[in-house]
């Protein structure tokens, strides 16, 4: 039973804080902030593209999710609360319906000289997030805030330490396992005092996090391991620890970030590990107990119109969740940086690789050069394999931007991509997808407030010789026209056309032939001060949706979408 309502607790502390500081700072009236966000979908069944057989299409027809944030700060106090509403929402699971509402987050904080004390739902990360990151990403309904307490101590102007403890948020409840962590971070200026010397600094840090499984979670692991034959059994442990050491070295235009992380042995699910069956045969997929490690480095240079970034990463057995029985994006404690370009165009972003937590060796190089005020060129190359050297992903991306004048800008490029669909989308027996995607983007400013922008993209895909068709959905053509009237209105119309259907393209129920379908979209946007509204008609093909290397396969969509956001 809850002893006290979080809203009531926040109000009590707000009143208490107000009374405490009323006589100290009459001129400080505090600051009240807030924000509202809503996304509503009106579903239109379309069995031809696969938009059916989930509750929203079959009988609910409507789904929405909303968030209301409120915050107040005054004289070192920081108080906030967020109310979440899900109404037949498909955000938690694109193939299901979810309805619930309540307090999604609340927090209370106070700064006291060198101390900062915070309680409630807390966002934080250690280093780049490899061993710990508590954050929110609403597009994928990731919100793994820590419900607990955090104490930060400012040692001096350059060094600080913090400790925290609690449980990870699970929508309107919490996962039972508990966590605790400690961090020490600093800044060291090694710049020579000689005149004209370049800035030379270090930003070191060290972090540690521990996790303890509750009895129910431990019992579920034991029950699973008991079903294995002797050669596959192991003894699970209640406690797991992970630590990382990281540093940013800056020397003039050069920046070098390194991080090394290790994790003690713990139980997790390995979909590729072979399990021994009763008849002596083996089959993939079992729970194992292994230690893990991640090594990551990034070297960058920026100066004289040239920008270069080189990255490398090695990941082994770093599946780190509050509960090893969870899958996909549920219960993730950490965040391992992705090693591919984050593309924005519809067709260049169609095949995006999810970060592999168990076995990944990745490299990326990004080069950008500004020749003059009018011409900029860039190139990106990324290459990802597993630890056995099997190719998972490869991308070569080039782009040219030419600004003729203030009136118009043209952008164009070419993407060459290899994508292991069997690993990233669990589609067995398919070859590595190979695509070639040229694109062009043209922006013309009609007047100071009016502009028109067009996009044209073409995705050519390889053949699936076994299937006798093009790979996946085949070749695509995409076109967009967008008209904007500043500062309020924007209108867009686009179409994604499956010009050469592939193996997975819809089939005509009468003739049995593959269908070349259109996937149109119409958008209307309105912005007024800090308020933004949009109404869209969307028909979208099944595909991968990613955000920062966290990806999931989402089914086709057909219907209308309305969004509203406001900040105050």
308 and 367 Cβ atoms separated by less than 8 Å: yes
Average pLDDT over residues 68-78: 93
pLDDT of residue 25: 47
414 within some domain: yes
Residue 508 lies in a domain: yes
Mean pLDDT of 490-496: 97
Per-residue pLDDT reduced to its tens digit, 192-248: 877 667 789 999 999 999 999 999 999 999 999 999 999 999 999 999 999 999 999
| 443 in a structural domain | yes
> What is the pLDDT at residue 383?
98
CA-to-CA separations, 200 to 187, 252, 253, 304, 309, in angstroms, rounded: 11, 7, 10, 19, 19
The CATH number of residue 476's host domain is 2.40.160.10
397 domain residue, yes or no: yes
What's the whole-number mean pLDDT along residues 158-174? 96
pTM equals 0.90
Work out how many domains the chain is built from and give that number: 1
Whether residue 492 is contained in a domain is answered as: yes
Q: What is the 3-state secondary structure (H, E, C) of 240-271?
A: EEEEEEEEEEEECCEEEEEEEEEEEEEEEEEE
Mean pLDDT of 313-325: 96
Cβ partners under 8 Å of residue 65, min gap 6: 38, 39, 84, 85, 86, 87, 89, 91, 141
The encoded tokens of residue 327 equal: 């899958």
Q: What is the mean pLDDT of residues 511-539?
A: 95
User: Closest Cα to residue 77, out of 155, 24, 6, 2?
Assistant: 24
543 within domain boundaries: no
pLDDT at 6: 52
What confidence category does residue 18 fall into, taking pLDDT thresholds of 50, 70 and 90?
very low
Residue 43 has pLDDT above 80, yes or no: yes
pLDDT bucket at 511, cuts 50 / 70 / 90: confident
The mean pLDDT of 533-547, rounded to a whole number, is 91
Q: Is residue 482 in a domain?
A: yes
Structural domain range at position 454: 343-528
pLDDT of 509: 84
Mean pLDDT of the chain: 92
Residue 204 covered by a domain: no
Dig out the tokens for 547 from the structure.
């955000």
């Amino acid at each position: 039973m809850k002893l006290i309502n979080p809203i009531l607790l926040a109000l009590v502390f707000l009143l208490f804080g107000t009374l405490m500081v009323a006589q100290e700072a009459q001129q400080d009236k505090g600051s009240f902030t807030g924000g509202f966000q809503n996304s509503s979908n009106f579903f239109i069944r379309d069995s031809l593209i696969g938009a059916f057989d989930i509750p929203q299409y079959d009988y609910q027809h409507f789904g929405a999710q909303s968030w209301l944030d409120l915050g107040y700060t005054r004289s070192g106090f920081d108080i906030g609360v967020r109310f979440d509403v899900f109404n037949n929402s498909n955000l938690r699971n694109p193939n299901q319906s979810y309805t619930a509402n309540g307090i999604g987050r609340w927090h209370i904080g106070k700064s006291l000289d060198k101390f900062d004390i915070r309680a409630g739902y807390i966002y934080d990360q250690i280093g780049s997030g490899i061993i710990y990151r508590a954050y929110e990403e609403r597009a994928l309904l990731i919100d793994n805030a820590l419900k607990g307490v955090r104490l930060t101590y400012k040692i001096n102007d350059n060094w600080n330490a913090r400790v925290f403890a609690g449980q990870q948020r699970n929508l309107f409840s919490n996962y039972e396992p508990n966590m605790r962590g400690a961090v020490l971070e600093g800044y060291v200026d090694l710049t020579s005092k000689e005149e004209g010397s370049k800035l030379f600094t270090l930003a070191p840090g060290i972090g540690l996090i521990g996790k303890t499984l509750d009895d129910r979670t431990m019992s579920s692991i034991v029950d699973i391991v008991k079903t294995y034959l002797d050669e596959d059994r192991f003894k699970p442990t209640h406690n797991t620890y992970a630590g990382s050491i990281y540093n940013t070295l800056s020397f003039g235009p050069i920046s070098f970030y390194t991080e090394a992380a290790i994790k003690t042995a713990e139980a997790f699910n390995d979909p590729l590990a072979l399990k021994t069956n009763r008849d002596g045969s083996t089959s993939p997929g079992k729970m194992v107990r292994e230690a893990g490690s991640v090594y990551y480095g990034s070297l960058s240079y920026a100066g004289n119109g040239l920008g270069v970034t080189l990255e490398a990463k090695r990941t082994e057995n770093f599946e780190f969740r509050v509960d090893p029985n969870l899958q996909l994006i549920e219960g993730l404690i950490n965040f391992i940086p992705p090693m591919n370009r984050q593309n924005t165009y519809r067709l260049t972003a169609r095949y995006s690789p999810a970060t592999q937590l168990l076995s990944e060796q990745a490299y990326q190089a990004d080069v950008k050069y500004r020749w003059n005020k009018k011409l900029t060129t860039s190139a990106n190359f990324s290459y990802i394999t597993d630890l056995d050297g099997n190719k998972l992903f490869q991308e070569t991306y080039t782009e040219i931007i030419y600004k003729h004048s203030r009136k118009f800008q043209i952008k164009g490029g070419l993407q060459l991509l290899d994508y292991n669909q069997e690993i990233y989308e669990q589609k067995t027996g398919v070859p590595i997808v190979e695509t070639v995607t040229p694109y062009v983007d043209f922006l013309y400013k009609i007047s100071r407030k009016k502009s028109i922008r067009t996009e044209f993209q073409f995705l050519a895909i390889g053949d699936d010789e076994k299937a006798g068709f093009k790979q996946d959905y085949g070749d695509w053509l995409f076109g967009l026209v967008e008209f904007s009237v500043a500062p309020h209105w924007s209108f867009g119309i686009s179409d994604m056309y499956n010009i050469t259907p592939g193996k997975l393209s819809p089939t005509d129920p009468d003739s049995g032939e593959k269908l070349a379908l259109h996937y149109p979209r119409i958008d209307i946007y309105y912005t007024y001060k800090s308020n933004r509204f949009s109404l869209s008609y969307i028909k979208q093909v099944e595909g991968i949706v990613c955000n920062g290397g966290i990806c999931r396969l989402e089914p086709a969509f057909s219907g209308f979408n309305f969004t509203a956001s406001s900040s105050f």
